[in-house]
Amino acid sequence: EATLDLAERRRIRSAIRELQRQELERDEEALASKRFRPERGSHRQDDKENWPRFQHLEEEQQAALATLSQQLEAITSVEELTKLLRAAGEYEERKLIRAAIHKLRAKEIEGEAPFLCSGVVTLE
């Protein structure tokens, strides 16, 4: 804006555009280098090497959950199941215990239902 020479203004504008283009290229290169870091490739390699160990841990967890499920079927007290629920740390364990509580409460309700329906009430 300080110069009145149109040729000089064009050179300044083209220089500004060139600087902006170079800046965009640098930004794109930086993004590309972040996307394709060599560390990610080595991390994937670690995952492949550790896969058998993770698979073994998952199998152990499934076996432990199956054992817990059998133990929960033997428990007939909602209070006892509630204590176990509060002490459980893993999500899957809590999920199984909640299911056992719901099942036990449903059985209790079914057990009470015949007694509730046996009486005949007449309204006059």
pLDDT, tens digit (0-9, with 9 covering 90-100), for 56-103:
778 888 888 888 888 888 888 888 888 888 988 888 888 888 888 888
Positive or negative, the Cα torsion across 8, 9, 14, 18? positive
Q: Report the distance separating Cα 107 and Cα 99, nearest Å.
A: 12
Q: What pTM did the predictor assign?
A: 0.46
* Residue 104 in domain: yes
Q: What's the CA gap between 51 and 47, in Å, rounded?
A: 6
Does any domain span residue 122? no
Token pair 């007449």: residue = 122
Residue 19 in any domain: the answer is: yes
Mean pLDDT of 41-57: 64
Domain that holds residue 72: 6-34+54-111
pLDDT of 117 higher than 70? no
Q: How many domains does the chain have?
A: 1
Check residue 113 and give its pLDDT. Answer: 59
Domain contains 120: no
- Domain assignment present for 43: no
